[in-house]
Structure 1
């Protein structure tokens, strides 16, 4: 198979390297990341039946709501 040499910046190389899987060559990584027919809906619903995810999401939602409430109360105290 013919090959080409590319010149990329250090930043581009580091970003590509971060996406590279242990068992992949850089060619495999580029092909995977630039696959033209990626199914954008592929991941939707994967965690729908995962109770652990639902619990973690609920805790995060509650923590965020508590944080907002605390900030609102502090703001009202200053007024």
Structure 2
């Protein structure tokens, strides 16, 4: 497997370094963070708080 060099702003590097576990490489860290972001949009489907669905319907109707 090949490697790629990427440029990061210092602040971003520091934030990543703070999240990096002792036993993981930066590649492992980025892989873990990306995997955490992969979510199925359907998991949150139907989870609007009470009253929010009606407010959303009203906003959509008003926009039409």
TM-score tier after normalising by the smaller chain length: 0.5 to 0.7
Structure 1 ranges of 4+ moved more than 4 A: none
Gaps of 5+ in 1: 41-79
- TM, length-normalised to structure 2: 0.55
Report the alpha carbon displacement of residue 37 of structure 1 after superposing the two structures with TM: 4.5
Larger radius of gyration: 1
What's 1:13 paired with? 13
Give, in whole Å, the separation in 2 of the partners of 1:24 and 1:6.
18
Q: Output the aligned Cα RMSD.
A: 1.9
Gaps of 5+ in 2: 44-64
